Amino acid sequence: MGTLIDRPLVVVTNREPYVDERTRTGIRHVQKAGGVVSALDPLLRDVGGDWVAWASGSADRHTAPGGVRPVPLDNPRYRLHRIYLTAEEVLGYYTRYANQGLWPLSHLLIERARFSRRAFTFYRNVNLKFARRVARESQASSLVFSHDYQLALVPSQIRQLRPDLAIAHFWHIPWPVFTVLRLCPQYQEILRGLLGADVLGFQTDEDVDAFLTSVERSFRHVAVDYTQGQIQWQGRVIHVKSFPISVDIADIESVVQTARITRWSRAVRHRLLKPGQQLGLSVDRADYTKGIIPRLEALREFFHRYPDQRGQVVFLQVVVPTRSEVSAYRSLFRHVEQESRRINEEFGTTTWTPVLTVRRSIDRYRLMGLYRAADFGLVSSLFDGMNLVAKEFVSAQVDRRGVLILSETAGAAQELDQALSVNPWDPEGFAATLNLALSLSFDERKERLQAMQQHLHEHTLYDWATDILTVLDSQAKAYVVES
């Protein structure tokens, strides 16, 4: 990929882009999936630099003497700096404070949020480990690009250690409105942490407005410019802007049209469907923010209200186990299985099973093939910063047969406006929209998909990364001129 950035880049994330695992046959090198890795790994290979992340692989220490692993191993282009954490640090920083506190609060699930001062102490100290490594490894000309709710304190900590560095931070999940944010006992420290950045990126304009309001209401005598998206803070100007994250649509289109995935996609339809049936698909982590249970309730309502659709629809849900150390997630997975079984027992026949469940992750290539195979995709998260599944589904629909049914509370809904919109808490309306989706003509499906695909070609994953870093680079150069 080409880029306008000509400075070394330091990426800072909770999860590492490459994990090294011990197996019976030796060490296995695994590239992690995800939008950040897909965008920033090739960018770092292009411009060079460093990536700082938590080491979670069983063989990470072996392949990273001194905590540094070259990437790629055979022809190094950048350095991966691994942060080693104790089990107690992972529990306090990651499991308890980030995932049982900030995550549910940001998704408006107030009753699930749990905070403790002890957990926050671990959170602060682990963030400082990241910041110190960044400060030690960064060149004077480096651009620092840190990420998400696990590392909210890192920008200010880096600022204190290396005031010469230009820092951008991207918040991937929704930013809560102030009345919700202040339920976090440490909300002012979270805000101060983020305000160490020069550029703050969010998924939507609503997130930007919510953040600006949070700053204005939390700190007296701070100048907040809503029109320009700027904050005057400690003698600096912080730019706050929406940068909706995207996908690499060209790569997805290439993948799904390979001979292997074309065969796979056709085989899925042949195996799961009888003539005249339509295939529905959802792909989610087993997370309570994804609206899996309300979706199943809506599906049950659909079969009640539209009995003529029984036997005409096969719904395949991919539910990937996640955060198994948190009891709420284990409980959700059991609930999903119970609700799916309930639908199948109530409506299924000897020749038709309404709901099929895959309870594991699927490799990226086959997953793209499933998107291509589907006649409709359901993305009905309760609240989402973006939701890249929606964009991946649209990208993989090279046959243009599929209909995207998308939650109006997902960030992606603001861009994919040709999707059919649903409220995840309205099972009757959800059922009616699903019935409408099944009745759309091929021409209307094609027209909707073409419009959304064109948008994704014009707003790619790489555009997202370079847009943020270009703003940061311009800001850094402006400071040099002023000084």
Indicate the burial class of 23 (C-beta count within 10 angstroms; 0-12, 13-18, 19 or more): exposed
Spatial separation of the C-alpha atoms in residues 435 and 331, rounded to whole Å:
31
**Closest C-alpha to 5, from 35, 40, 38, 33:** 40
pLDDT score for 238: 98
Query: What count of other Cβ atoms lies within 10 Å of the Cβ of residue 396?
Result: 27
pLDDT score for 479: 61
Strand-pair category, 26-31 with 18-23: antiparallel
Domains and CATH numbers, the chain: 9-245+462-478 (3.40.50.2000), 249-459 (3.40.50.2000)
223 bridge partner residues: 232
pTM of the model: 0.94
State the 10-residue block means of pLDDT for the chain, 483 residues long. Answer: 73 94 89 82 88 94 91 92 97 96 97 97 98 96 96 98 97 97 98 98 98 97 97 96 96 97 97 97 93 97 98 96 68 91 97 95 93 98 95 98 97 97 98 98 98 98 94 80 53
The Cα-based distances of 46 to 42, 76, 294, 403 in angstroms read: 6, 11, 44, 37
**Closest C-alpha to 182, from 148, 216, 135:** 216
pLDDT score for 321: 82
The Cα-based distances of 424 to 293, 303, 410, 433 in angstroms read: 10, 17, 10, 11
Spatial separation of the C-alpha atoms in residues 185 and 117, rounded to whole Å:
8
pLDDT score for 35: 75
Spatial separation of the C-alpha atoms in residues 456 and 264, rounded to whole Å:
25
Angle at 251 between CA 250 and CA 253, to 5 degrees: 65
**Closest C-alpha to 323, from 284, 371, 379, 291:** 284
Strand-pair category, 278-285 with 376-379: parallel
pLDDT score for 4: 60
Contacts of residue 408, Cβ cutoff 8 Å, sequence gap at least 6: 421, 422, 423
Q: Are 332 and 284 in contact (CB under 8 A)?
A: no
Q: HSE on the CB side for 274, CA within 13 Å?
A: 8
